[in-house]
Amino acid sequence: MNDDVFEVLHRDHEEVRTLLAQLEDGPVGATPEQRKTLTEQMVMAESRHEAVEEQYFWPAVREQGERGEQVAATAVGQEQEAKQVLAQLDKLDPADADFVSLLTGFIADAREHIAYEEDNAWPLLRAGLSDEQARELGSKIAKAKESAPTRPHPHTPPNETVLKTAGPGVAVADKLRDAATGRGES
């Protein structure tokens, strides 16, 4: 695959936008089982996406100088908050009254984060990378996503070295838990 970083991340963002729209349109009238399935899919997609961004994308943005540091710090802060919410959603019963409230807030925040990333980080990084570097970064992200964690880990620091070292082991544990519980199979 020769997709650049922006094509890879665009596909991820579109997947998340689709899941957000389905959750927004469906939670009130959907059965608890349907809400749980959609939420699990979103949690898994977001967990993989954020893990690989923290390993590869945000360090590349930080390399773009002071503005890159600022943009990355803001975005990673948003992602850390999202992981807290995702961890709560992943544990809540969809029939719980707090579920819809938490989900509604997450949907708005996720859309805001995607817009922030695309409007601030992407142009900055586009200006700083050659086409070859953008393709190389896209390849790293696509490959890392295959073995990324499927659950949010809000207490893991968003540090690329920590994530590259611990991430594969955490991902294996996540996938074993998913298989044991049937999570993500619907």
* pLDDT exceeds 70 at position 179: no
Closest by Cα among 180, 149, 185, 181 to 164: 149
DSSP 8-state class, residue 30: S
pTM of the model: 0.82
* pLDDT exceeds 90 at position 28: no
* pLDDT exceeds 60 at position 63: yes
* Res 30: pLDDT: 64
Read off the pLDDT of residues 144-156 as tens digits, 9 standing for 90 and up: 888 887 766 665 6
In the chain, the percentage of residues whose pLDDT exceeds 70 is 77
Radius of gyration, CA atoms only, the chain: 16
d(CA 42, CA 50): 12
* Res 74: pLDDT: 97
d(CA 34, CA 118): 30
Cα 29–Cα 114–Cα 152 angle in degrees, nearest 5: 70
* Res 100: pLDDT: 82
Structure confidence at residue 38 as a pLDDT band (50, 70, 90): confident
pLDDT averaged over the chain? 84
d(CA 43, CA 62): 26
Quick one: tokens of 130? 């050659």
